[in-house]
Amino acid sequence: MSDLLRSIGVRFLDFLSALGRASLLWYRAMAGLPRWGDVALVVKQIYNVGFMSLIIIVLSAFSIGAVLSLQFYTQLARFGAQDATGVGLALVLLRELGPVVTALLFAGRAGSALTAEIGLMKTTEQLSIMEMMGVDPLRRIIAPRIWAGLISLPLLTAIFSMVAVYGGVVVAVNWLGADPGGFWSGMQDGVELWEDLGKGMVKSLVFALLVTWVAVFQGYDAPPTAEGMSMATTQTVVISSVLVLATDFLLTLVFYGDF
Amino acid sequence: MRMRTIEISVGGFVLAGVIGLVFLAVQVSGVGELGERTSYTIQARFDDVAGLRERARVSMAGVTVGRVRGIDVDMQWGDAIVTLEIMGEPGNLTIDTGAKILTDGVVGARYVGLLPGSDEETLGPGDEIVETQGALVLENLIGEFLTNIGK
């Protein structure tokens, strides 16, 4: 019994110290405004985490939009309400699936790469060498990656939702023969700028913060061994996915819970 | 890879993202639909607006002519005051225009239907529609039906 308690206590303290180290990392990397000289570094990282994620985002978005549209249309057609396909598709995408699925894909595609990159830099002591040269690795390596994540994920989310709506249109209108007028006007009647698009983008920004933070911290904190690196990469994907899903529930409760 | 290629790719990526946002705002959420055109508001009292929501359609002969802008309750009389935003210049609706709360399809959203009148006078901004018919509430209908059967 006391062993159990002790192990729970040790786990909890480990968790607290990791949280503390992560917060310190965040604070030391992001304290102070970014300097102009850092812009080129951020652009390079946006290329790595944003531009390079485009293909997987576009492909997934199109198939998710198509599948949603197919399900909505066939089920709603049983009640003669197939005109609601457009609004259902748009609301589900803007409020939930757009931000969440993009963040999950981003964690798998870009987050794991970030962790591996930073972890390898640490393992091969590139970070220590930077410190010896008088360059702050937190500002030079960590901060541009966090900024790039914060900029890229909302943009990827917008692209995701646009492509998914297009995929939905292709299936519902061009293939199943839904009436395009009812489809678009139902969508425009039911979707509001701030309530749906704006709050979805706020979600996406929060997810960007979580995923990049977890990714850079896992990389920076990884034990400098091959095993430690593989653990850290796995942990990035697992922790950020769980965090994204849990936070999504909380945000939905705050944004849309009517009470 | 050359820095210039990276910069061009990132530029294209940011542009695609912004286009996505604009597309979602304009085409999906329909911003600017009522924006520039002139409009004025009138009011209508209903005994029951069950299920009507803000931004619901206001239509005449099936054509959308405005939106519901606000729904308030008048505690003194126990009825609902609905503010309607009508597109166009004041004077395009006669003073004896009627308003009804209707349902779009079986499971569809509630909307306000306007019935044209024949009077010379027209409704100005802030005027109130007198001829109204509230929403049909299924429970009330069933209640009435049961009372009538009992007779």
Q: Could B18 and A155 be called an inter-chain contact, meaning their C-beta atoms sit closer than 8 Å?
A: yes
Average pLDDT score over residue span A143-149: 92
Q: Which residues lie across from B98 on neighbouring strands?
A: B115, B131
pLDDT at residue A64, as a whole number: 96
Task: Report the DSSP pairing between strands B128-129 and B63-74.
Answer: unpaired
Average pLDDT score over residue span A152-159: 96
The single residue listed with the structure tokens 């983008």 is A201
Longest dimension (CA), chain B: 89
Average pLDDT score over residue span A56-79: 94
Which residues of chain A neighbour B55 with C-beta distances below 8 Å?
Answer: 189, 192
Indicate whether A193 pLDDT > 60.
Answer: yes
The verdict on residue A25 lying in a domain is no
φ/ψ of residue B132, rounded to 5: -130, 155
Of residues B122 and A47, the one with the higher pLDDT is A47
Residue A86 CB burial class (10 angstroms; 0-12, 13-18, ≥19): buried
Average pLDDT, chain A: 91
pLDDT at residue B107, as a whole number: 62
Q: What percent of chain A has pLDDT over 90?
A: 71
**Rounded Cα–Cα distance for residues B55 and B42 (Å):** 14
Indicate whether B78 pLDDT > 90.
Answer: no
Given pLDDT bands bounded at 50, 70 and 90, which one contains residue A95? very high
The single residue listed with the structure tokens 């946006």 is A46
Q: CB under 8 Å to A231, separation ≥6 — which residues?
A: A222, A223
Q: In this predicted structure, which of A86-100, B16-30, B58-72 has the lowest mean pLDDT?
A: B58-72
Given pLDDT bands bounded at 50, 70 and 90, which one contains residue B138? confident
pLDDT at residue A84, as a whole number: 85
Indicate whether B55 pLDDT > 80.
Answer: no
The verdict on residue A26 lying in a domain is no
Top residue of A69, A83, A87, A155 to mutate, by most chain B CBs within 10 Å, is A155
Which residues of chain B neighbour A197 with C-beta distances below 8 Å?
Answer: 21, 24-25, 28-29
Domain that holds residue A148: 42-256
Indicate whether B47 pLDDT > 90.
Answer: no
Structural domains in chain A (count): 1
Does A161 lie at the interface with B, CB-CB under 8 angstroms?
yes
User: From residue A11, how far is each of A5, A7, A128, A199, B120 by CA, in Å?
Assistant: 10, 6, 29, 35, 81
Closest Cα of chain B to A257: distance in Å? 17
**Rounded Cα–Cα distance for residues A133 and A4 (Å):** 47
> Which of A80, A154, A192 is nearest residue B106 as measured by Cβ atoms?
A80
The verdict on residue A29 lying in a domain is no
Chain B residues 20-59 within an 8 A CB cutoff of chain A: 20-21, 23-25, 27-31, 33, 55, 57
Structure tokens at A151: 């900029």
Closest Cα of chain A to B87: distance in Å? 16
Is residue A142 within 8 A of residue A63, CB to CB? The reply is no
Indicate whether B35 pLDDT > 60.
Answer: no
Indicate whether B150 pLDDT > 90.
Answer: no
The verdict on residue A240 lying in a domain is yes
pLDDT at residue B133, as a whole number: 83
Indicate whether B49 pLDDT > 90.
Answer: no
Top residue of B29, B58, B65, B110 to mutate, by most chain A CBs within 10 Å, is B29
pLDDT at residue B17, as a whole number: 94
pLDDT tens digits for range A183-192: 887 888 788 8
Which H or E run contains B86? strand B79-87
Highest mean pLDDT among A24-28, A149-153, A222-226: A149-153
Task: Report the DSSP pairing between strands B79-87 and B39-46.
Answer: antiparallel
pLDDT at residue B36, as a whole number: 53
Residue ranges of alpha helices (H) inside chain A are 2-30, 39-49, 54-77, 85-91, 98-106, 112-123, 126-132, 137, 143-169, 180-190, 199-221, 226-256
Structure tokens at B91: 């004077």
Q: Could A197 and B19 be called an inter-chain contact, meaning their C-beta atoms sit closer than 8 Å?
A: no
The verdict on residue A12 lying in a domain is no
Indicate whether A124 pLDDT > 60.
Answer: yes
The verdict on residue A33 lying in a domain is no
Q: What DSSP assignment string belongs to B17-67?
A: HHHHHHHIIIIIS-TTSSSSS-EEEEEEEES--TT--TT-EEEETTEEEEE
> Which of B6, B31, B33 is nearest residue A47 as measured by Cβ atoms?
B6
Does B14 lie at the interface with A, CB-CB under 8 angstroms?
yes
> Which of A44, A79, A155 is nearest residue B14 as measured by Cβ atoms?
A155
**Rounded Cα–Cα distance for residues A200 and A197 (Å):** 5
**Rounded Cα–Cα distance for residues A124 and A189 (Å):** 56
Does B69 lie at the interface with A, CB-CB under 8 angstroms?
no
Residues composing chain B: 151
Residues composing chain A: 259
**Rounded Cα–Cα distance for residues B56 and B29 (Å):** 14
Indicate whether B33 pLDDT > 60.
Answer: no
Which residues of chain A neighbour B9 with C-beta distances below 8 Å?
Answer: 47, 51
Average pLDDT score over residue span A194-207: 94
pLDDT at residue B108, as a whole number: 67
pLDDT tens digits for range B87-119: 888 888 888 888 888 887 666 678 888 888 888
**Rounded Cα–Cα distance for residues A49 and B97 (Å):** 59
Given pLDDT bands bounded at 50, 70 and 90, which one contains residue A34? low
Is residue B43 within 8 A of residue B127, CB to CB? The reply is yes
Given pLDDT bands bounded at 50, 70 and 90, which one contains residue B37? low
Structure tokens at A23: 């917060």
Closest Cα of chain B to A213: distance in Å? 22
**Rounded Cα–Cα distance for residues A200 and A164 (Å):** 15
Closest Cα of chain B to A63: distance in Å? 17
The single residue listed with the structure tokens 């294209």 is B12
Is residue A48 within 8 A of residue A39, CB to CB? The reply is no
pLDDT at residue B15, as a whole number: 94
Indicate whether B63 pLDDT > 70.
Answer: yes
Average pLDDT score over residue span A102-109: 96
Given pLDDT bands bounded at 50, 70 and 90, which one contains residue B1? low
The single residue listed with the structure tokens 């102070």 is A32
